[in-house]
Amino acid sequence: MTPHKLLITTAGIMCMALSSGVALALDGASLYRERTCIACHGDEGREPVMSDYPKIAGQKAPYLLAQMKKIKDGTRSNDSSIAMKNVMHLINEDEMAVVAEWLANLPR
């Protein structure tokens, strides 16, 4: 392989890696792990680490999304969700919607 072809091949592989990275970033299961939700709400939103933390799998997506937004912007702060507020800078609204859809489609 000539150096020129090698360069083109390398660039091609990097493009593939980058585009698959973007696809992954908007995959609910990956976001749920990467943005630390799993640390408190447990595997697939069904095994919260504390008995007073909510199970969120199988809940309606609009409700899930609304609560995430309220916890993030501080509208909802009268309960232990205050613990969650600290990580909400890690996730934007589009990503929250993806996670909400993913959670809603999981068994309860």
Which positions lie near ligand HEC, rule CB under 6 A?
A: 35-37, 39-41, 53-54, 56, 64, 67-68, 79-81, 83-84, 87, 91, 99
In the complex, what is the shortest distance from the CB of residue 87 to ligand HEC, in angstroms, rounded to a whole number? 4
CB burial of residue 84 (10 Å; 0-12, 13-18, 19+): buried
In the complex, what is the shortest distance from the CB of residue 22 to ligand HEC, in angstroms, rounded to a whole number? 19
Cα–Cα distance measured from residue 4 to residue 75, given in angstroms and rounded to the nearest whole number: 57
In the complex, what is the shortest distance from the CB of residue 18 to ligand HEC, in angstroms, rounded to a whole number? 24
* Helices and strands in the chain: count of H runs, count of E runs: 6, 0
Q: Which is nearer to ligand HEC, 19 or 92 (CB)?
A: 92
Question: Which of these, 92, 96, 95, 103, lies nearest to 25 by C-alpha position?
Answer: 95
